């Protein structure tokens, strides 16, 4: 609920089994003489975007967790298998390398992810798909 996805001046792609949580804002950057292609918003597969996240003209790989309240600015590239801690700011044109935990304002590489944490990225995405199926299968949904 209350997610805004604006593809008004460029395009938005959201991958399979990706979930965007409440209050998030997804936007793009227009084309200009200094940026002839602008910045679309591209989100890979199996991504969990926490509550109140702002994604603006960035590219996110597969199996990524973007913590609640984080902001990713134009031109950011997030590779695969990454966790971004809650409240982090990823500055314009920054590239986050695969396999790490990032956190802070501005974001910093904290440490490599453990094997369990990398597996948890896929687990998180799978859970949201499962919960969707459970919800749709309910016969006794509350009616107003």
Burial of residue 66, with CB atoms counted within 10 A of its CB: 0-12 exposed, 13-18 middle, 19 or more buried: buried
The CATH number given to 4-137 is 2.160.10.10
* Res 141: pLDDT: 64
- Tens digit of pLDDT for each residue in 90-142? 999 999 999 999 999 999 999 999 999 999 999 999 999 998 888 888 876 66
* Res 137: pLDDT: 84
Q: What six digits make up the tokens of 118? A: 């990398």
pTM, 2 dp: 0.92
Average pLDDT over residues 62-91: 99
Average pLDDT over residues 59-87: 99
Where do the structural domains in the chain lie, given as residue ranges? 4-137
Radius of gyration of the chain from its Cα atoms, rounded to whole angstroms: 16
* Res 35: pLDDT: 95
């Amino acid at each position: 609920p209350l997610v805004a996805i604006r593809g008004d001046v460029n395009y938005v792609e959201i991958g399979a089994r990706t979930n965007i949580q409440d209050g998030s804002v997804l936007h793009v950057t227009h084309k200009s003489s200094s940026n002839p292609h602008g910045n679309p918003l591209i989100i890979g597969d199996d991504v969990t975007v926490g509550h109140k996240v702002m994604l603006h003209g960035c590219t996110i790989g597969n199996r990524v967790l973007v913590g609640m309240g984080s902001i990713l600015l134009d031109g950011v590239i997030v590779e695969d298998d990454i966790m971004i801690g809650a409240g982090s700011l990823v500055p314009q044109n920054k590239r986050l390398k695969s396999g790490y935990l990032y956190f802070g304002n501005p974001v910093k590489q904290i440490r490599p992810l453990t094997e369990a944490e990398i597996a948890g990225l896929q687990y998180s995405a799978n859970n949201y798909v499962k919960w969707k199926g459970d919800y749709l299968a309910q016969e006794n949904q509350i009616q107003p």
